[in-house]
Structure 1
Amino acid sequence: MDMLDMIKNDPWLEPYSEIIEAQHRHNIDKEKELTQNGRDSLSDFATGYLYFGLQKTDKEWVLREWAPGATEIFLAGTFNRWQRLESYRLKNKGNGVWEVKIPLERIHHLDLYKLFVRWDGGNGERIPAWCKRVVQDPDTLIFSAQVWDPEHYYTFRNTGFKPDTSPLLIYECHVGMATEEERIGTYNEFRQQVLPRVKENGYNAIQVMAIQEHPYYGSFGYHVSSFFAPSSRNGTPDELKALIDEAHEMGIAVIMDIVHSHAVKNEAEGIARIDGSYDLYFPSDPQRRYHQAWDSLCFDYGKNEVLHFLLSNCKYWLEEFHFDGFRFDGVTSMLYYSHGLGENFSTYADYYNGRQDPDAICYLTLANKLIHEVNPNAVTIAEEVSGMPGLALKIEKGGYGFDYRMAMNIPDFWIKTIKEKQDEDWHPTAIWWETTNRRADEKTISYVESHDQALVGDKTIIFRLIDSDMYWFMSKLMQSSYRVDRGIALHKMIRLVTATTINGGYLTFMGNEFGHPEWIDFPREGNGWSHKYARRQWHLADDTNLKYHYLGDFDKAMIRLIRSVPDFQTTPINKIWDKDEDNILAYMRDKLLFIYNFHPQKSYSDYGILAPEGEYEIVLNTDALPFGGFGLNDDRIHHFTQHDPLYAPHGKGWLKAYLPARTGLVLKLLNQQK
């Protein structure tokens, strides 16, 4: 095998070339095994959702389940009064597959059902692993599978949709908490009320959380029980399809936050111990099976049946619901036997020390290949904190095949800066390093804060900056406070520098763009099962008497500016000035010049920066009055570089501008001198 491009591009990986190449060969060998040495495709392999679970044919209903440890299985439901009848007994077809066939007239739309399973030493009711709809009884709170067979299934109007990735601008969202009222929101409400906001704000993608069914709402959707069932607490499968279809109509891609890193440990609701065994989908070693930090179960990616289940799950959401791709949650936990807990990851040796899970890495590679085989335009994103090389590199180059990786260092940097640094010590060199430090051959999704930074026990960026003053000084009808003025100014600057230094895409969590107050806390016993903090107060952004709209309006202008440059994320980004003692940073992309003065007190008159010679106009100003600033600059004035014989041969001159404290300016080069 020739040396992989991944290693050629990074000589520091050469000492680990044997490990990297062995993993690459393992991935190739496993794909050959699953596809009968290439006679089939991965897409052919990933069709389990068309075989297992409850299927309707022209003649009958057929239910199949993989349960090798079972000794007896019955199908029970509302259609047979939950009795274990002989005509509903499943037959063992071999290889652990059980099957039952039921006449069409016996089972109807909205019927409830479960499996009653016996195994050596026990028995229990189980929800089929491959079921496509699960509902919870409002009185007993018990979950059951439900037949979804409406007279008319939803028909997609928009087919062949292609996500806009120039760049990918993601609005991360949660359907349940997207309503203003203190309750769980629905797919229909999101489609009607939130999608228009996303479009108006200029984002071209939504990343939807908590789609896969989960028994505990407060898990934020990360303790999945039924992997093929869209959460029924938000509505029906057809209503989810209508949401996705409407998003495509608006030019908005829909990315699913998919959880294949672990599963809920609940036995009655989830896939744990369906056949009485502990290692059906999970490792036989209890230490590897149980995730101590998450109180959940880890998959055994070395089993072909598990690969079949998870790969089929990827294809199912693409084919049946027209999702445009996935953000894979908890990738770090998958990559390492330690789940990344307690690891340092300070040198390359930490990535190749024998503590990596080659089967999990193989699964991720196969998943990416499958997804792009099913939909070549699909988008895949890895949520991964360790910095594993090659994650967002093409498979043929030795990578894992993700299109993007989350730039998880950036939100950590901003939180650390706000918490630990005095304003005078917000050094441009550090800001530049954190926002642009990434592997040259891998695209990233940059962000200031996602849902992670807003959960209870933490604080959003705006709340860190303003804190309790948000309760008293966000009205434009009252006197402002220093903390509010500072917070509004820095909130805009932080977002501007993060969003305009991207090499792939940018993400925000819904509401954070306008400084949604407080934290996120889902209903739980500790808060009296309240929805107060599990909702979005959209009226705050719409009320022009409040200052929240300043931040929302700025975000719209910022996104509009980014989208005004074709393929903004691929344009060269050139730092042209940084001076820590002045707290000044400047860089250029295409014809846009970004200048920041992070100093809390010093404003600079006629501050000189070496820039391409020519005429400039201000196209965005964080200090502008419409964005809650003080309007200290006259944005109508054009700026001209001053000739300097020393730098003229390089096409540069001195651009002098007034830079108020805590202000970011974006200037556009109109006429470049030659």
Structure 2
Amino acid sequence: MKLKIVQEDPWLEDYKEEIYQRWVRFQRAYDEIKTPDKGLKEFASGHDYFGINFDKSKHAWIYREWAPEAQALFLIGDFNNWNRTSHPLKMDEWGVWSIELPYEVYKDNFVHKSLVKVHVISEKGGLDRIPAYIRRVVQDENTKDFSGQLWFPEKPFVWTDKGYRPVHDKEGLLIYECHVGMGLEEEAVGSYLDFADKILPKIRDLGYNAIQLMAVMEHPYYGSFGYHVSSFFCPSSRFGTPEDLKYLVNKAHEIGLAVIMDVVHSHAVQNVAEGLNAFDGSDHQYFHSGPRGYHEVWDSKLFDYGKWEVKRFLLSNLKYWLEEFHFDGFRFDGVTSMLYFHHGLTTFDHFEKYFLKDVDWDAIIYLQLANSLIKEVKPYAISIAEDVSGMPGLCRLPAEGGVGFDYRLAMGVPDFYIKMLKEKKDEEWDILEFWKELSDRRYKEKTIAYAESHDQALVGDKSIAFWLMDKEMYFHMRVGDESIVIDRGIALHKLLRLFTIGLGGEGYLNFMGNEFGHPEWVDFPREGNNWSYKYARRQWSLAEDKDLKYQFLLNWDRSMLALIKAHKVLCAPFADQVHADPANKVVIFRRGALLFAFSFNPQVAIADYKFKAPEMGQYRLVLNSDDVQYGGFGRIDNSLAYFTDQKQQLSIYMTNRTALVFEKFD
């Protein structure tokens, strides 16, 4: 049987059976979960059964924990003075332990904000652990130990976002990737509330329609950027309370921003004290046993996606964030690592690497179930895959032979840009190579393009602005201060961003601060920098200072996004190459109703540059990177009208290192 992705791509013909089996395996897994009276959404309600929940019928708190190889479990905490034997749990035949705490007995000491843990006895001895499904974890300021915290606020949060829907299907997905903790200018950890009140308006003012929140799930080490998760159902308490996070999401919705969560289901922190590792004493409860359960590069544990309770845990986690915190979808971290036994540490130079022995079927099934669940819970929700491998069908429905994501990240684009900046002089750049890198993506699989994300901003690497201008940014960013290095950097920074958003996909992503060329890398407090917050922040004042040149890049970003949205460029089909001139480093393409012209030429400006237009008629300039408001030299008259000649040619002034956008009008 040929599924749709095979019908549309003859290169997949040799793998039609494996693609069909991909669908069969998913359908079988889906049917195993689905019963006559229960479906995927009910299966993904583990958080309502496991962990600490109030049972109204029994008028009691019930705590349940799946720990099949544990010998005994005891609930401990402030409520019983941390007595490790007074409150034992009982185990059923499925390895689920439970205990009931009648409300009338415990109403005065099992209360809001009190601390709890579970004492687990296994063949390795006894350890105090944090319940797997706990919904809040806090760290003791003195001991630095983490504990679960009961969270029973008197008044539930009042949502005012009823009826909100993302608008990415109407104007394209424009993502502002951000980290709450380093979102402020102060050398401190920012809060959910401060981010909501101070930073969200900046993001909306620029024209983005979505934020992607990093580091939401609780992680013991701040410097992990949120990627070593310990407690999957907990909003990180270092930024505030669960209600504070709800306030942030609600505020974002009120001003028209979708909120996408950076979800980490590809691995987990290996810490025993804070995380899931060896929870019941075994090395194979949530994770694979032995070497298969350990990621050497990330120093973390790897989930066993074939296990029933692991699937329930992770799927419930998605449903919880969608329903409890009103998130509008997820960006799945580390999808490449999930898809393959080698975790992507290879070269993907042949189609067989996507379908044969190195592919983890259990992980693919989990991702298919996850994407199906997301749409069942919230039909308009967004799912994005961080995949560098280019797995065919990743962003197609399971019934078509795919995995079910809405978008994939174009991870090769920033790597390509950095490679060009590091290894080649401007004179050696090949504009056809640029074209191929940005336009080479799979048919009917939506892509989010980006020039740089948080990865390129981390200490040890450099942002594009830093690669272009380096230390000169500290000395020559004042308006009126002449610098060839800064002029080149500002010009190319604008070109690379417009080239990316115009050509690279159906969505666009920017990491906070990069829109104005933030001059510093990201370095979280650590022993090596004397626990400093100096580089774990964003200096918004630089872009707001009219005496500095950062404002020009910010102006460009705002105008660029406004144009892209107004003309629905990201919703348009693939771009058509209109003209390519490698000798002069000029490339011109049409996407939607706009005509994009780029000159990457480092020196030569051509006064009468001619090329064949897509259509006869009159054109006008709607965006010009050489305009003085964007830090350009003002060499081009923005008011001119451009008419095609008898040969359907346009003649323009193509200045060096310039991007021009035209629209046809009557």
TM class by shorter chain equals: over 0.9
Query: Which string of whole-angstrom CA distances, capped at 9 and with x for unpartnered residues, describes residues 109-141 of structure 1?
Result: 000110011112411000000000000011110
Residues 19-28 or 107-116, more deviating: 19-28
Residue among 644, 650, 669 paired with 2:664: 669
Between the aligned partners of 2:125 and 2:605, the Cα distance in structure 1 is: 75
User: Counterpart in 2 of 1:101?
Assistant: 100
Q: Decide whether the 8 Å contact of 1:503 with 1:570 is kept in 2.
A: no
Between the aligned partners of 1:99 and 1:549, the Cα distance in structure 2 is: 59
Following superposition, the deviation at residue 23 of structure 1 comes to 2.1
Q: Decide whether the 8 Å contact of 2:572 with 2:591 is kept in 1.
A: no
User: Counterpart in 2 of 1:215?
Assistant: 220
Following superposition, the deviation at residue 56 of structure 1 comes to 2.1
Residue among 252, 258, 261 paired with 1:253: 258
> 4+ residue runs of structure 1 moved beyond 6 angstroms?
none
Superposed, which structure 2 residues align to 1:226-625 within 5 Å?
Answer: 226-284=231-289, 286-341=290-345, 343-477=346-480, 479-566=481-568, 568-611=570-613, 612-625=615-628
User: Counterpart in 2 of 1:133?
Assistant: 136
Partner amino acid, structure 2, of 1:374: V
Query: Which string of whole-angstrom CA distances, capped at 9 and with x for unpartnered residues, describes residues 24-55 of structure 1?
Result: 2111111111113x652211110001111111
User: Counterpart in 2 of 1:29?
Assistant: 28
Secondary structure in structure 1 of the residue aligned to 2:577 = strand
Task: Say yes or no: does 1:92 pair with 2:91.
Answer: yes
Q: Decide whether the 8 Å contact of 1:502 with 1:569 is kept in 2.
A: no
- For structure 2, the residue ranges without an aligned partner over 5 or more in a row are none
Identity %: 51
Residue among 185, 188, 194 paired with 2:190: 185
Task: Say yes or no: does 1:16 pair with 2:15.
Answer: yes
Task: Say yes or no: does 1:81 pair with 2:81.
Answer: yes
User: Counterpart in 2 of 1:650?
Assistant: none
Query: Which string of whole-angstrom CA distances, capped at 9 and with x for unpartnered residues, describes residues 544-574 of structure 1?
Result: 1100010011000000000101464224521
Partner amino acid, structure 1, of 2:137: V
Residues 481 and 53 (structure 1), Cα distance of their counterparts in 2 relative to 1, 3 Å cut: same
Following superposition, the deviation at residue 85 of structure 1 comes to 4.4
Partner amino acid, structure 2, of 1:578: A
Between the aligned partners of 2:163 and 2:412, the Cα distance in structure 1 is: 35
Q: Decide whether the 8 Å contact of 2:69 with 2:282 is kept in 1.
A: yes
User: Counterpart in 1 of 2:152?
Assistant: 149
Between the aligned partners of 1:171 and 1:445, the Cα distance in structure 2 is: 12
Using the size of structure 2 for normalisation, the TM-score is: 0.97
Partner amino acid, structure 2, of 1:32: D
Q: Decide whether the 8 Å contact of 2:567 with 2:594 is kept in 1.
A: no
Q: Decide whether the 8 Å contact of 2:507 with 2:570 is kept in 1.
A: no
Q: Decide whether the 8 Å contact of 1:503 with 1:569 is kept in 2.
A: no
Residues 174-183 or 94-103, more deviating: 94-103
Residue among 42, 48, 54 paired with 1:50: 48
Following superposition, the deviation at residue 411 of structure 1 comes to 0.7
Q: Decide whether the 8 Å contact of 1:455 with 1:520 is kept in 2.
A: yes
Secondary structure in structure 2 of the residue aligned to 1:70 = coil
Between the aligned partners of 2:334 and 2:598, the Cα distance in structure 1 is: 35
Following superposition, the deviation at residue 103 of structure 1 comes to 2.9
Between the aligned partners of 1:111 and 1:600, the Cα distance in structure 2 is: 64
Between the aligned partners of 2:43 and 2:440, the Cα distance in structure 1 is: 39
Using the size of structure 1 for normalisation, the TM-score is: 0.96
Residues 49-58 or 256-265, more deviating: 49-58
Query: Which string of whole-angstrom CA distances, capped at 9 and with x for unpartnered residues, describes residues 643-670 of structure 1?
Result: 12xxxxxxxx110011111001111111
Following superposition, the deviation at residue 340 of structure 1 comes to 1.2
Query: Which string of whole-angstrom CA distances, capped at 9 and with x for unpartnered residues, describes residues 58-84 of structure 1?
Result: 422111110111111111111221112
Secondary structure in structure 1 of the residue aligned to 2:52 = strand
Partner amino acid, structure 2, of 1:44: E
Secondary structure in structure 1 of the residue aligned to 2:17 = helix
Between the aligned partners of 2:278 and 2:421, the Cα distance in structure 1 is: 46
Following superposition, the deviation at residue 19 of structure 1 comes to 1.7
Between the aligned partners of 1:337 and 1:61, the Cα distance in structure 2 is: 41
Between the aligned partners of 2:650 and 2:570, the Cα distance in structure 1 is: 23
Partner amino acid, structure 1, of 2:60: E
Between the aligned partners of 1:610 and 1:251, the Cα distance in structure 2 is: 40
Partner amino acid, structure 2, of 1:18: E
Q: Decide whether the 8 Å contact of 2:79 with 2:114 is kept in 1.
A: yes
Between the aligned partners of 1:456 and 1:271, the Cα distance in structure 2 is: 29
Between the aligned partners of 2:376 and 2:202, the Cα distance in structure 1 is: 32
Q: Decide whether the 8 Å contact of 1:596 with 1:662 is kept in 2.
A: yes
Q: Decide whether the 8 Å contact of 1:224 with 1:259 is kept in 2.
A: yes
Between the aligned partners of 1:98 and 1:349, the Cα distance in structure 2 is: 45
User: Counterpart in 2 of 1:648?
Assistant: none
Between the aligned partners of 1:502 and 1:153, the Cα distance in structure 2 is: 43
Secondary structure in structure 1 of the residue aligned to 2:71 = strand
Secondary structure in structure 2 of the residue aligned to 1:181 = coil
Between the aligned partners of 2:396 and 2:655, the Cα distance in structure 1 is: 42
Between the aligned partners of 1:144 and 1:589, the Cα distance in structure 2 is: 53
Residue among 167, 191, 210 paired with 1:205: 210
Between the aligned partners of 2:657 and 2:429, the Cα distance in structure 1 is: 11
Partner amino acid, structure 1, of 2:650: L
Partner amino acid, structure 2, of 1:100: I
Q: Decide whether the 8 Å contact of 2:568 with 2:592 is kept in 1.
A: no
Q: Decide whether the 8 Å contact of 1:208 with 1:256 is kept in 2.
A: yes
Partner amino acid, structure 2, of 1:61: W
Residues 54-63 or 74-83, more deviating: 54-63
Query: Which string of whole-angstrom CA distances, capped at 9 and with x for unpartnered residues, describes residues 10-30 of structure 1?
Result: 111111122222222111111
Query: Which string of whole-angstrom CA distances, capped at 9 and with x for unpartnered residues, describes residues 246-296 of structure 1?
Result: 101111000000000001000110011111111110112x11011111100
Query: Which string of whole-angstrom CA distances, capped at 9 and with x for unpartnered residues, describes residues 200-237 of structure 1?
Result: 00000000000000000000000000000000000000
Secondary structure in structure 1 of the residue aligned to 2:268 = coil
Q: Decide whether the 8 Å contact of 2:187 with 2:537 is kept in 1.
A: yes
Between the aligned partners of 2:630 and 2:448, the Cα distance in structure 1 is: 25
Query: Which string of whole-angstrom CA distances, capped at 9 and with x for unpartnered residues, describes residues 451-503 of structure 1?
Result: 011111000000000011001000115x2211100000000000011011143
Q: Decide whether the 8 Å contact of 2:572 with 2:592 is kept in 1.
A: no
Following superposition, the deviation at residue 443 of structure 1 comes to 0.4
Between the aligned partners of 1:121 and 1:220, the Cα distance in structure 2 is: 32
Residues 171-180 or 586-595, more deviating: 586-595
Residues 450 and 121 (structure 1), Cα distance of their counterparts in 2 relative to 1, 3 Å cut: closer
Q: Decide whether the 8 Å contact of 2:173 with 2:570 is kept in 1.
A: no
Partner amino acid, structure 1, of 2:209: N
User: Counterpart in 1 of 2:650?
Assistant: 655
Following superposition, the deviation at residue 519 of structure 1 comes to 0.8
